[in-house]
Structure formats: structure tokens, C-alpha cells
Structure 1
């Protein structure tokens, strides 16, 4: 008698399923934008390179075009991501592929950064929130191609009363007039102030003129009860506090 397995042979094993095909990479502009968006939302602060972040910002001005060439051209022309955001919108529009809408998108980010930085300073004792103040000043002045002089007027709690730009000059001109600075402090009821200006050259090292004008304003203020806390010089390479360096 035949064995049971001979009469009823086991069925042949089913063939293994074929592997699912790997989805083709979407090389279209829409696919590229989607990948940038995913990296932006899921990655850390350095998820996108500078030119990629500019690409993303320029999407607002171009619904379909490839914005990578324009982003790279912007950095090549202005030198850095920060300098692009600080550039004059008319100069930005001269770069092929940017246009008015793209320039507006970049300008809006620059203004948003300023407001965020200023919000951390406003209402706070300036000397107790020193790093926030330096961040605010750097955003506003570090990449300027002209010299800007400003005075921060403070009340008795060292809270900011007024942030006034007293001079916007060319790359080699700046002016602070002691009499005007002190009179303004008296007019608005300020008891102290901070002097700030930038060096377009990038180096924040003070000149003899910087030190001399600071001492003149300190002397004028001392006679009228106005304290000059410091003179801070901002440059692309960092900042210098004249008081911290023992120069005043």
C-alpha cells in the first residue's frame, strides 16, 4: 500500500512576491521644493544651507521657477546670507530671477528678525539684557555699508525710552554732537544713555576719534546729571564695548 504522502503530494510552495518597485525620485521643481520644505520643518536650525534658505524664501515670489540660481547669485553678489537680507530691495531686484515679489519676501524676513530682536529688549532693563541688546544692534547695523550713529536713551531703571538714529552717513562719515545728545536726553527725561555706531569696514576696533567724542559726551552729561553707560561699536566681525576695554 502506498504511503499517504505518495497519494496526496504536498503542494508546491508559492513563489515569493516580487519586491515593490522603488518610487522614482521626483526631480521636478515641485519635488525639490517639497524636499526643502520637509527638511525645513523636520530638521534643526542648520537643516538648510544659506542658499537653500534663500531659495525657500524666494518661492514666495515665484510659484514654479527654479530659484536656486537666483539664491546663489544673491550670495555671490552681496557676500553672505545676512548681507542679502540687509541689501537695498532695488539692488536685490537687479539679480536675475528675483523680481519685486522676491525682494519683498526677503525684506519681510529682515523686518521680522528686527522686530523679534527688538521685542526681547523693549521693556527690559538694558544692562540686564545686554546680550539681547547686542543681538538687536548686530541685526540692524553689522552689515550696513554706511556708518550709522544711534543713541539709546534710558530712564532711571535703565529701560529704553528712545532708540534714535542721530546720523546716517556715507562709508567714511559719522557724527555725534555732544550738545544735541545731552539736550535730547533732558528734553525726554532720560537719566542715562548708550552710544552706538557701526564700522562698515567690519572691524569694530575703536579709533581715537571714537574715544575722544565719547569722553566729550560723558563730560557734558556729567555736568547735567546724565550718565553715559557705554559706547558700543558694531562691525561684521563682532562688537567692542569701550567701557569693557577700559577706554572710558
Structure 2
């Protein structure tokens, strides 16, 4: 799904990672190569298997045993108020000062927010980006990544095994949490059963900053394997432009026609960006 104009070429695709109703990660079999749209894309390695809940929580609990136990943590500012009681800068300082010498968090949080734009941007930043700040220790980077994993799982819990079309706002919240801050385009498919409940949530491909490959045959094959009756395609635009490009529209129609031949409905195609999202269905493109 590229906004550029390049010659097309196809490559074999790697296995994909998925989250099924059980919440466990599984591997989908590799499929035959398909047609890329508007670009040459080398197949990326498969995502790592998803960590268990206990593994995600380990960095959070380990924070209590850090070498910088700061007495003036002021947790009461959060405990005695609401989730919005603290500014992004104050909340980030509250989280990071556990890992830093006294007084080290205040200046650092301002620089992090300037670089990444918001608290969500800091938590979604890649470890290599956070390492550009020497004052941020590895333990703090692991802590922030664990925070992100927890946020994604909380959002996912609101949509798994529920009727997706009846919980649309929660679906959008989950997809924005998962995809809006990614640095490269990612193609995700939500596979639905006959009651429109989500039976699998799979990342089929990751691409570049302005393109990800789409293989209609692979999407159809996976939907049949899962006995899905319908699906929702999702991809993100790191450029923050969430309106569909002409290649997005053409590719979506190709997938819709392929699914229709086997009796599977394409409910929607969503584009996710930090500034918002767009729906092909609501735009009249499906």
C-alpha cells in the first residue's frame, strides 16, 4: 500500500504471527508469493512470538527493586485523583524517576516529550530511538516497552470474542493503540466468525515507511483456514496521512473480489494514523 510509484515485483512471504481467541500467539504457514502494489518489497522476518503476561509484567515489578528508590515519588498525586490528574510530563517523570538519580527525571522527560510529541509517543518509541538519550537506562527502556505491551493487551481484551461491529469504538481504540505509532506500514487482518466476533487478529506483513505488500491469495487462503465468514483489513500510515491512496483503493477492490468468490465478506478496510483514521465503508469505497 504505497503512495509512491515504483515497478512491482513479488517475493515469497514469511510466516505470520497471530492472536487467536485464546490470546496465545501462533504461526501461520507461509504462502505462495502474490502481487505487490506499487513497490519492490523484500520479505521481512516473522515477528517474535508474543510474550506471556507474566513476562510482560516482570519489568514492572522489577522497578520496585531498582537502585534508585526515590522517596518523593508522589504516587498519591495519581492515587488520589483520576487518570487525567497529571500532565504527560509529570506522569512520565513519575514513571522514570524510579530508574534515575534524584532530580534526574524532570529535565529528561521534557527532552523525550519534545522528541516524540506525547507520552504515547515516548512509550511507543523503538528501543533504538530511546537509546539516543544516554540518560535513559536499559531498565527504563524495558519498563516503557512493558507499559506499551500492557496497554495493547488491555485494549485487545475489549474486542476479543465480542461482536466487532457492535463494539466499533473499542476496535478503533485497540487498533490505534497497536498501530498508530509504528514507524513502518503494517498489514493486519481481523478475521470474524458468522456472528462477527473476532476469531483471529493477525499481522500478515510489515513493509517500509510508505508501503506494505498485500497478497490477495494469501488473505483468502488464511480466511478459509480459519473458517472465517468475514474480515476487516487494517493498515497504518506512518506519514500521518490517513486518507486512502489510489493504490489502497485499487488493492482493496482486488481483495474484495477475491473474497467474494469464496463467499467471504470484506466488512471494511481501515487506515490508522496518529492524527486519526479512515474507513473505506464510511467513505463509500466498499
TM-score category, normalised to shorter length: 0.7 to 0.9
**Alignment partner, residue 157 of structure 1:** 195
Q: How does 1:126-145 map to 2 (within 5 A)?
A: 126-145=164-183
1:61·1:100 contact (CA, 8 Å) conserved in 2? no
**What is the CA-CA distance between 1:90 and the residue it aligns to?**
3.0
> How far apart, in 2, do the equivalents of 1:206 and 1:172 lie?
12
1:164 Cα offset (Å): 1.0
Specify every segment of 5 or more residues in structure 2 that has no aligned partner in the other structure, as ranges. 1-68
1:92 positional shift: 1.1
Separation in 2 of the partners of 1:225 and 1:77? 47
- Residues 1:241 and 2:283 are matched in the alignment: no
Which residue number in structure 2 is paired with residue 226 of structure 1?
A: 264
Partner of 1:98: 136
Quote the Cα distance in structure 1 between the aligned partners of 2:224 and 2:250: 22
Question: Within the alignment, does 1:45 sit opposite 2:115 as a pair?
Answer: no
Partners of 2:70 and 2:97 within 8 A in 1: no
In the alignment, the residues of structure 2 paired with residue 142 and residue 238 of structure 1 have an alpha-carbon distance, to the nearest angstrom, of 9
1:196 to 234, 249, 257: 234
Distance (Å, rounded) in 1 between the aligned partners of 2:116 and 2:96 = 16
Structure 1 runs of 4+ with >4 Å offset: 29-32
Q: Offset at 1:213?
A: 0.9
State the 1:44 CA deviation. Answer: 2.3
Asked whether the equivalents of residues 202 and 236 of structure 1 are also in contact (C-alpha less than 8 Å), the reply is yes
Q: Which has the higher contact order (CA 8 A, sep 6+)?
A: 2
Matched, 1:33 2:73: yes
Higher helix share: 1
In the other structure, the counterpart of 2:210 is 172
**Structure 1 position 63, deviation (Å):** 6.1
Residues 2-81 of structure 1: pairs in structure 2 closer than 5 A: 32-34=72-74, 37-62=75-100, 64-81=102-119
- Please say which structure displays the higher CA radius of gyration: 1
C-alpha separation in 1, matches of 2:250 and 2:233: 13
Name which of structure 1's ranges 170-179 and 91-100 shifts more when overlaid on structure 2: 91-100
Match of 1:229, SS? strand
Normalised TM-score (structure 2) = 0.73
Paired residues for 1:110-121 under 5 Å: 110-121=148-159
1: CA distance, partners of 2:82 / 2:203? 36
Is the Cα–Cα contact under 8 Å of residues 146 and 168 in structure 1 kept in the other structure? yes
